Amino acid sequence: MNTADETELEYALRGKAWKVYWFLLKNSHPVSVREVQRALHFSSPSVANHHLEQLRELGLVQKQDIGGHYVLVSEVKIGVLRHYVKLGRLLFPRYFFYAVFSTIIYVAYLLFMGIGFARENLFIITFGAVVCAIFWYEAYRVWSMRPF
């Protein structure tokens, strides 16, 4: 996907369409118009249908012939989605894994190396704490950018 296509897709995926796409990303099963309407608290099923059809026209979802349910057929990494990793039905900010890993290593180092708060160890203690804090901050910042 080139830059022009990404820009066009980012423009099309905003507002309620973005919320519908996010909802479909999190659900691995086909969803109905009513299910989307209820889950996203839209005023009517026609609003949900409009946005599902918009996503269908973009080639991101497909409408099943039997039952009329919509299923996600294409995942795109645009906007804030570039910073997310999907594990099953769950979406996590990539920084979440960095934060967990760096925190575990930092705490393990402090526990197993038995370093005290001596002047020589102040740099290691401070540096590790700052790195962990930065990763946790970035994970929270990306998490707060999700549509709902």
- Which spans in 27-121 are helix H? 33-40, 45-57, 94-113
Relative orientation angle of helices 45-57 and 33-40, to the nearest 10 degrees: 110
Q: Which two tokens stand for residue 66?
A: 């039997």
- Does 130 share its domain with 110? yes
Whole-number pLDDT of residue 2: 59
Q: What is the largest CA-CA distance in the chain?
A: 70
The last residue of one of the domains, among 41, 72, 103, is 72
Q: What does the pLDDT look like over 70-114, one tens digit per residue?
A: 888 877 777 777 788 878 777 888 899 999 999 999 999 888 887
Whole-number pLDDT of residue 67: 81
The last residue of one of the domains, among 72, 94, 128, is 72
Whole-number pLDDT of residue 100: 96
Half-sphere exposure of 130 (CA within 13 A, CB side): 6
- Does 60 share its domain with 108? no
Q: Does the structure show a pLDDT above 70 at 37?
A: yes
Identify whether 148 is part of a domain. no
Whole-number pLDDT of residue 122: 85
Q: Does the structure show a pLDDT above 90 at 139?
A: yes
The residues that bridge with 87 in the sheet, in sequence order, are: 90
Q: How many residues does the chain have?
A: 148
Are 42 and 16 in contact by the 8 Å Cβ rule? The answer is: yes
Whole-number pLDDT of residue 3: 66
Q: Give the range of the structural domain holding residue 109, as residue numbers without chain letter.
A: 79-143
CATH number, position 65 = 1.10.10.10
Q: Does the structure show a pLDDT above 80 at 25?
A: yes
- Does 67 share its domain with 86? no
Lowest-confidence pick of 2-6, 69-73, 80-84, 129-133: 2-6
Q: What does the pLDDT look like over 53-73, one tens digit per residue?
A: 888 888 888 898 888 888 888
Specify the higher pLDDT residue, 129 or 22.
Answer: 129
Whole-number pLDDT of residue 131: 96
